Amino acid sequence: MIYLASNQQQNAGLKISYPVDTITVSDEGYSKARSISKQTEHREKANPKKLHRLLVVEDDEITQEVLGLFLQDIYDIDYASSANEAIELVRANDYMAVLMDINLGRGKSGLFVTNEIRNMKGKERLPIIAQTAFAMGGDKEEFLEAGCDYYLSKPFTKTELRDVLSEIKEKHK
């Protein structure tokens, strides 16, 4: 939910809320760096039920943490904070799907990464989920036409995200 308040006597205020299940994130969780080698080490041994691997392309660490909390019990997750990092990870790994933030801050966008993936041999059909705060009329259509397969407008719920991923699992068995 996004709430904006303003009047002439005071500054404008902006409140953004993500609807999430009850979660606890420590201060340590915000600042810890994610190590790809640590994520992939003992992948199958640690939890053989986690047979599907996702790439989360997201420049915001808190959003990365929330997405991890939504999905870590079912999926192995790698994280990329930039377009270049995402492209390298997709080239080097096999993923069930990519959760793609469209606005990656400075530099290349999620649509740039999507286009690069669509041009990679063997990765052309990799499911890409646009997960973005862009929710104006025409945004969804623009992202789907640009190569994304699914669209989730932030904020979205854990259930909405898991439903999209379940649909992808069913389609790409």
Tens of pLDDT, residue by residue, the chain (173 residues): 555 555 555 555 555 554 544 444 444 443 333 433 334 333 434 444 456 899 999 999 999 999 999 999 999 999 999 999 999 999 999 999 999 999 998 889 999 999 999 999 999 999 999 998 887 888 899 999 999 999 999 899 999 999 999 999 988 76
Nearest to 87 by CA among 71, 107, 72: 107
Q: Which domains does the chain have, with CATH numbers?
A: 20-25+48-171 (3.40.50.2300)
pTM, two decimal places? 0.71
What residues have CB less than 8 Å from 126, skipping those under 6 apart? 90, 95, 97, 98, 117
The single-letter DSSP state of residue 138 is T
